[in-house]
Amino acid sequence: MKPVIVAIALPLFAGCVTPKYWEATGGNPSDGLVQLSYVHTPFEYGQIRESQGLAIATGRCQFWDYARAERAGTEKSVCRTMGQFHCLETTVTQDYRCQK
């Protein structure tokens, strides 16, 4: 009986550890602002790397002739797809400020 439970439960928990990656979703070179986002479902948490986001933002800032990027403010979460009782898909966005 235990192997059957493990076989059923393992795929359910595997969704929890799916890594997420920041993607550039907005920004403005004249303001020196880069926006990065990722989307997660209720079963996907805690697998985003802050260093990966900073590297993407820094690359975008350097393309715009800035030296580096710094986090600006806190992450903002917005429900993208609402189910009958809870959010099915959430977009998380982080702003980065380009520095000279």
Per-residue pLDDT of the chain (100 residues; tens, 9 = 90+): 555 554 455 555 554 567 889 999 999 999 999 999 999 988 876 678 899 999 999 999 999 999 999 999 999 999 999 999 999 999 999 999 999 9
Side-chain-side CA neighbours of residue 36 (13 Å) = 29
Give the global pTM. Answer: 0.77
